[in-house]
Amino acid sequence: MNESIEKCGFVAIVGRPNVGKSTLMNRMLGQKISITSKKPQTTRHRILGIKSTENYQIIYVDTPGMHLGGKSAMNRYMNKAASTVLSDVDLILFVVDTNRWTEEDENVLKKLRHDRVPVILVINKIDLIKQKEKILPVISELGDKMKFSDIVPVSAFKNDNLNILEELVVNCIPEGNPLFPVEQVTDKSERFMASEIVREKLMRRLQQELPYSLTAEIERFSLEKNILYIDSIIWVERESQKKIVIGKSGSVLKDVGKAARKDMQHAFGHKVHLQLWVKVKEGWSDSENLLKRMGYDDVSI
């Protein structure tokens, strides 16, 4: 480890679904760790993204979107994964959408009011506001909702103001030695990342609500003669969903496999031989035992 690092801290990124939390973390890290899509609740796990420099190590914690409604075990798991991290970090980035404030935003704010951890309000997607003078009233209105440490309007997509945000983060984290090797960028295994890449491509390819009824599980992840062999099962809940995921003459599965293989080769630095199967497991998303078997086991539900 690099002994010259003087500051180290955990920073949670929280907010309702679909406000750009994962995109923000990826941008802050300068590389892709969390999967992204335009669909809400893409992030299902708590994922660490680690940024190390000569003077500090920031450990970002990307969390599932805190949401209302949805009583399944999966919904409970995601809300628990997001909520339990709040008291275990040094700083919270509360990400909101510049265009609208919702009941789910209010729900997140209520949780933050009961916490003693400093909170920076990150107003994301300012690139969508054409008249920049309209940002000031938004800042003023949201700033009245709680005493935030700072308020920063950003565009994670366009990389706007993220240098300012990082300076504020560094100022807030405590002095300390690094907790992870400087070359480590996440706490998740390559096997986990492979399953997330498959799920991301499925969510981007499928337009229906189906993405919330599927998950990907890696059965084989082995390097042989410089070729990475990856076998993944895509679990759905009904036979009708299986047909949609496969597509006519296997078209959807072929597209997903091609896109996933490309990302895996870039992420893992090896030629990838990827095989995908689609199987049905009724009610998997509402079974705590099945969720744990499929890797949803880092928090108690």
Residue-wise DSSP of 94-131: EEEETT---HHHHHHHHHHHT--S-EEEEEE-GGG-SS
296/280 Cα distance (integer angstroms) = 18
DSSP-derived pairing of the beta strands 227-236 and 215-224? antiparallel
pLDDT value of position 65: 77
213/251 Cα distance (integer angstroms) = 20
Mean pLDDT by runs of 10 across the 301 residues of the chain is 74 92 95 84 84 96 78 76 83 94 92 89 92 87 94 95 97 95 93 94 81 88 96 94 94 96 96 97 84 68 29
78-96, pLDDT tens digit by residue?
Answer: 777 778 788 789 999 999 9
> For residue 297, how far is the Cα from the chain centroid?
16
259 in Cβ contact with 201 (< 8 Å) = yes
What structural domains and CATH numbers belong to the chain?
Answer: 7-172 (3.40.50.300), 190-293 (3.30.300.20)
pLDDT value of position 208: 67
3 state DSSP class of 196:
helix
Q: How many CB atoms neighbour CB 177 within 10 A?
A: 12
